[in-house]
Copies of this chain bind each other. A is one copy, B any other.
Amino acid sequence: MTKTAPPPIVRRGLLLVLSSPSGAGKTTLARRLLADDAAITPSISFTTRKMRPGEVDGRDYHFIDKVAFIAARDRGDLLEWAEVFGNFYGTPATPVMAAIGEGRDVLFDIDWQGARQLSERALADLVRIFILPPSAEALYQRLTSRNQDPPEVVAKRMAAASGEISHWGEYDYVLVNSDLDACYRQLTAILTAERLRRARQPGLEVFVKALLAGL
């Protein structure tokens, strides 16, 4: 038996996708996770829309022009992209793939269309979670109690919720957010578990070799 301790186990990061209709608690869960867990960072998208007051380039988005965006997209440099109200949004592949190669996880707050594009590019690295509201009433309550959106925006979000929810079947995990703390515990359990997948621990090869050599 050897007296040297085995080396620490190198892991591959993962891409955690959170999708839900607006008002199901996704943003709150994502913020809490990012605050609690230093091993996961948000994906920072390219966007062609104008910077808003309080936003920081490179923190909230990478603000780029349309020509640069389209060039990146056409080179295949984007893991997913979308056009919303005439503006482009997209995820640059390079920083994301670098992060997971270094054992850091990346969080994506995207809709089913983004999740589907990510699935085409990086399925093995993906952990896709869909968050459902406990009921239609609860969703309505959450959208109105924000007191920040005019009624027509709330109505539009309720209508959009159906479309988003209809894609729950394309996700690996489905959580029902009846209680925020319980839902958060489920989210962190999934992250803990997925990090322990054999396929995400390439360092096990070296670890087991050292272990067997000592037997």
Q: List the interface of chain A (C-beta within 8 A of B).
A: 1-3, 5-6, 9, 130, 132-137, 139-140, 158-159, 161-162, 165-166, 168-169, 171-176, 185-186, 188-190, 192-194, 196-198, 201, 204, 207-208, 211-215
Is the CB–CB distance between A1 and B140 below 8 Å?
Answer: yes
Nearest Cβ on chain B to A156's Cβ, whole angstroms: 12
Is the CB–CB distance between B173 and A135 below 8 Å?
Answer: no
Is the CB–CB distance between A214 and B136 below 8 Å?
Answer: yes
Q: Provide a sorted-by-A list of 30 A–B residue pairs whose CB atoms are within 8 angstroms.
A: A1-B136, A1-B137, A1-B140, A2-B136, A2-B137, A3-B137, A6-B135, A130-B198, A135-B211, A136-B213, A136-B214, A136-B215, A159-B215, A161-B215, A162-B215, A165-B212, A165-B215, A166-B212, A168-B204, A171-B198, A172-B197, A172-B198, A173-B196, A173-B197, A174-B196, A174-B204, A186-B193, A189-B189, A189-B192, A189-B196
Nearest Cβ on chain B to A176's Cβ, whole angstroms: 7
State the 4 A-B residue pairs at the shortest beta-carbon distance, nearest first: A136-B214, A193-B193, A189-B192, A189-B189
Is the CB–CB distance between B174 and A198 below 8 Å?
Answer: yes
Q: Which of B1, B140, B165, B196 contacts A208 (CB 8 A)?
A: B165
Which residues does chain B contribute within 8 Å of A185, judged by CB atoms?
Answer: 192
Given contacts A176-B9, A176-B207, A189-B193, contact A139 B201 (CB under 8 A): no
Is the CB–CB distance between A215 and B139 below 8 Å?
Answer: yes
Distance A32 CA – B140 CA, assembled complex (angstroms):
42
Q: Which of B135, B189, B196, B198 contacts A169 (CB 8 A)?
A: B198
Given contacts A134-B6, A193-B190, contact A212 B174 (CB under 8 A): no
Which residues does chain B contribute within 8 Å of A175, judged by CB atoms?
Answer: 196
Is the CB–CB distance between A211 and B132 below 8 Å?
Answer: yes
Is the CB–CB distance between A198 and B1 below 8 Å?
Answer: no
Nearest Cβ on chain B to A179's Cβ, whole angstroms: 14
Is the CB–CB distance between B1 and A211 below 8 Å?
Answer: no
Nearest Cβ on chain B to A183's Cβ, whole angstroms: 10
Distance A132 CA – B196 CA, assembled complex (angstroms):
12
